[in-house]
Amino acid sequence: MTKCLVTVGDLVVDLLLEARLPVVADGHQSSPSLLIEPGGACTTLLAARALGMEAAALGTAGDDFQGRLLLDILAEAGIDTVALVVPTESTTTTVIALSDPVQLAHVFLGHYGEGPPIKFTAQAARQLERADAVFIAGYTLVEERLNPLVEGALRFMESSAAPLYVDVGPFLGQLEQAGVEEVLGAADVLILTDDEIRFVAAGESDIDACRRLLDAYPDLRIVLKRGPAGCHLLGRELDLACPGFPAEVVDTIGAGDAFAAAYIWAELQGYSPAECGTIGNAMGAASVAKAGAGRNAPTRAEAQRVLDTYGTGISLT
C-alpha cells in the first residue's frame, strides 16, 4: 500500500541566485542564473512524491503571486493541498537564497509570510488521520501565526500511531526551553545537523550530547546529518554511522529536505536502520549534484543510481 506523508507548516518560495560570498556593500554582482522554486518542506513533499509516496501539505500559503505559483506546482506534482489555508490578502514566506558554487556555501535572506492565525480545523485533523508519517520543519515552530495549527497538530499526534518527524533547523534556537521540551516530548524522530545539536541539548554540541538527550527521552530516535560524511543514527539500542557517498557538488540547497523525505520513505517501507540511513545519504548525494531545490529534488531513479554506483545492493522497489 502506498504510504502518505503530511507536512505541517507554511509553504515557502525560494529565489535562488548564484553569488560570490560574502556579499559586501557596493559589491555589485550579476548572477548567471535565477531559479524560482518551492523551498523548505515543499522540497520534502516533492521528493516524497518522486519516491512514490502520497503527500499532503497542511498549513498555509499566501494570497499572492508566490502562493499561486506554489499551489500550481504542488497540484501538478499530485500533492494534496485541500486542507491548506489561503487567507485573503495574506503573503507567502519568501527566501532569497544566494549560493556560491566555488565555496559550496549559501546564505538565506527570508521574510515570513503575513496573515491571520492559522487554526487547526476538522479538515486538518482528517489529513492527519490518513498520514503514515508527519513532518514538521523547525522554522514552523517559531512562526507565531502558525501556533494554533501546530498546537492542534501536536495534540492530535499524542493519540496517533503515525510517527512525527521534526527537522530541527537553525530557527529552533529561538524557542524557549519549555518549547524545546515540548518538541522533544512530541517527536518520534529528530533530524538535525551537528550545528543544530545545541538547540535541543541545552547548549552542548557534540554527539555525546545527543546520547545524553536520549537518557531523558528514551523513546526518541535521532538522525544526525553530517553532510559528505553521511549520517549517524541514535536510539534505543541503536548507535550507527552510515557513511556518505562521494558527489560532485553543484548546490547544497535542499539536500537536507530531500534526505528527510528519503529517510522517512525508507522507514515506512520497512528497510533496516542501516539501509534507511544509506538511502537518505544517496538522496542527499543525488540532490547536491543538481542546482536548487523544489522541482529539482532527486527522483527515485537518481537515488538508485547512487546506490548502484557504490555497490550497496539496496533496491528502491
Q: What is the CATH number of the domain that holds 239?
A: 3.40.1190.20
* Domain-located, residue 27: no
Q: Please give the pLDDT value at position 280.
A: 98
Report the pLDDT averaged over residues 175-183: 89
* Domain-located, residue 315: no
Q: Are 17 and 109 in contact (CB under 8 A)?
A: no
* Domain-located, residue 316: no
Q: Please give the pLDDT value at position 122.
A: 96
| Total number of domains constituting the chain | 1
Rounded to an integer, what distance in angstroms lies between the CA atom of residue 235 and that of residue 218? 7
* Domain-located, residue 317: no
Q: Are 202 and 172 in contact (CB under 8 A)?
A: no
* Domain-located, residue 149: yes
Closest Cα partner for 71 from 86, 49, 54, 55? 86
Report the pLDDT averaged over residues 73-94: 96
Q: What is the pLDDT of residues 68-78, one digit of tens each?
A: 999 999 999 99
- Residue 203: pLDDT band with limits 50, 70, 90: confident
* Domain-located, residue 252: yes
* Domain-located, residue 28: no
Closest Cα partner for 286 from 316, 313, 248, 315? 248
Domain interval for residue 88: 4-22+33-307
Of 9-13, 73-77, 205-209, 289-293, which one has max mean pLDDT? 73-77
Q: What is the pLDDT of residues 215-239, one digit of tens each?
A: 999 999 999 999 999 999 999 999 9
pTM: 0.95
- Residue 196: pLDDT band with limits 50, 70, 90: very high
Q: Reply yes or no on whether the pLDDT at 1 is more than 80.
A: no
* Domain-located, residue 110: yes
**Phi, psi values for residue 236, rounded to 5°:** -60, 115
